[in-house]
């Protein structure tokens, strides 16, 4: 594929500074780009590469300093680059339309129009699969599951019984939705399993990474609201609720019955105790431990998680502790000499 700079500027609704007839055949990182490629700068720390890049053009913000390189100025360089990336690398269908001969589909299941069902996929009884759905090889859909339109389940995804998946959902390989919640009642020295009879609801436009585990509710539903994005290797326990457009990075673990609000940002390796609430528009920095409910519209960090400026002051004080201990020891030694 090939586009001119003028065509790219039009695609992203940007203002072109430079020769619009320059031919572009691919995209690349700013520090690695070569002639014929377009790159972008959205983070100021990469601005230093502008003078050394081999890119034929760079997408920048509208207030970026004037440069000798051809540029396309937009309101959001990162989003603009995403549009260009999609144009040069459109997603290709890897599963043929129709049902692969090795797929196993129960007679009571209902499959919508224009679906793609790959090799060795299994769809159990009473399932409802919407239109334009893609099930990659090895997907297992247990009984009484609903899958909305335009949803993509990548290889070896498992949807356990009574799971409900919305429209335009993407679930990556190895993820299990609807596994049993971790619930046990102690009797003497032994633990008895509590039946997990609830379900999981995943609303529209959700994306879930690979090898995640979304547990079914004990009663009621575990819910992931519209537009939420989950990274790889995330554990969502029974009866958790994740709000709309919340994003959660890898290796986060959310204990049972915790509720996370809308537009929350969760860094990697964050741990949540159970039965707490996190307010909307909150950010939780990586490797924090959330041990109690958090208010909305704030940033938290640390273990236990606390307001980030407080946490930074405490961390700075801790770094001074060895020197302070030396000074205290010296003062104590002088006091002992005085007493003698």
Task: Give CA–CA dist 222/214, Å, rounded.
Answer: 8
Q: What stretches of 81-183 adopt beta strand conformation (E)?
A: 98-99, 104-105, 110-111, 116-117, 122-123, 128-129, 134-135, 140-141, 146-147, 152-153, 158-159, 163-165, 170-171, 176-179
How high is the pLDDT of residue 93?
83
Q: What local confidence, expressed as pLDDT, does residue 18 receive?
A: 94
> What is the 8-class DSSP label of residue 294?
B
For residue 120, the model assigns a pLDDT of 97
Q: Report the pLDDT value the prediction gives residue 337, as an integer from 0 to 100.
A: 85
Contact (CB, 8 A) for 77 and 60:
yes
Report residues of the chain scoring pLDDT below 50.
none
pLDDT at 92 (0 to 100): 83
The segment(s) of the chain belonging to CATH 2.160.10.10 are 98-311
Give the span between the Cα atoms of 92 and 102, in whole angstroms: 22
Residue 14's pLDDT is 96
Cβ-count burial 147-167 (b if 16+ within 10 Å, e if not): bbbbbbbbbbbbbbbbbbbbb
Coil, strand or helix: which one is 313? helix
Cα 7 to Cα 24, 197, 289: the distances in Å are: 10, 55, 48
The per-residue pLDDT for 126 is 98
Predicted local confidence at residue 60, as pLDDT: 97
Domain with CATH 3.40.1390.10 in the chain: 3-88
What is the pLDDT at residue 129?
Answer: 98
Backbone angles phi, psi at 26, to 5 degrees: -165, 175
pLDDT (tens digit per residue) in 188-228: 999 999 999 999 999 999 999 999 999 999 999 999 999 99
Find where tokens 């937009």 sit.
Answer: 74
Active-site residue numbers? 238
Q: Which CATH architecture has domain 98-311?
A: 3 Solenoid (2.160)
Query: Residue 336 has what pLDDT?
Result: 86
User: Which superfamily, per CATH, for 3-88?
Assistant: MurE/MurF, N-terminal domain (3.40.1390.10)
């Amino acid at each position: 594929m090939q586009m001119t700079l003028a065509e790219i500027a039009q695609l992203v609704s940007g203002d072109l500074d430079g020769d619009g007839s320059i031919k572009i055949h691919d995209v690349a990182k700013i520090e690695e780009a070569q002639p014929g490629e377009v790159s972008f700068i959205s983070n100021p720390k990469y601005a230093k590469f502008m003078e050394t890049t081999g890119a034929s053009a760079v997408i920048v913000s509208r207030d970026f300093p004037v440069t000798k390189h051809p540029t396309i100025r937009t309101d959001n360089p990162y989003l603009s680059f995403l549009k260009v990336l999609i144009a040069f690398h459109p997603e290709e269908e890897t599963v043929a339309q129709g049902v692969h001969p090795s797929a196993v589909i129960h007679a009571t299941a209902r499959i919508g129009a224009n679906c793609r069902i790959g090799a060795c996929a299994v769809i159990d009884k009473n399932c409802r699969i919407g239109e334009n759905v893609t099930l990659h090889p090895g997907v297992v859909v247990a009984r009484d599951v609903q899958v909305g339109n335009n949803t993509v389940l990548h290889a070896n995804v498992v949807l356990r019984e009574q799971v409900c998946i919305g429209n335009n959902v993407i679930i990556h390989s190895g993820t299990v939705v609807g596994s049993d919640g971790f619930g046990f009642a102690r009797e003497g020295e032994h633990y008895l399993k509590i039946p997990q009879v609830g379900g999981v609801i995943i609303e529209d436009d959700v994306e879930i990474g690979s090898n995640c585990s979304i547990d079914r509710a004990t009663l009621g539903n575990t819910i992931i609201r519209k537009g939420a994005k989950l990274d790889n290797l995330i554990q969502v326990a029974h009866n958790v609720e994740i709000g709309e457009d919340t994003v959660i990075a890898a290796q986060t673990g959310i204990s049972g019955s915790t509720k996370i609000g809308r537009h929350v940002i969760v860094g990697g390796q964050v741990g949540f105790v159970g039965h707490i609430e996190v307010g909307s528009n909150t950010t939780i920095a990586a490797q924090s431990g959330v041990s109690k409910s958090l208010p909305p519209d704030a940033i938290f960090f640390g273990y236990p998680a606390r307001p980030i400026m407080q946490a930074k002051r405490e961390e700075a004080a801790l770094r001074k502790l060895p020197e302070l201990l030396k000074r205290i020891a010296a003062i104590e030694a002088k006091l002992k000499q005085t007493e003698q």
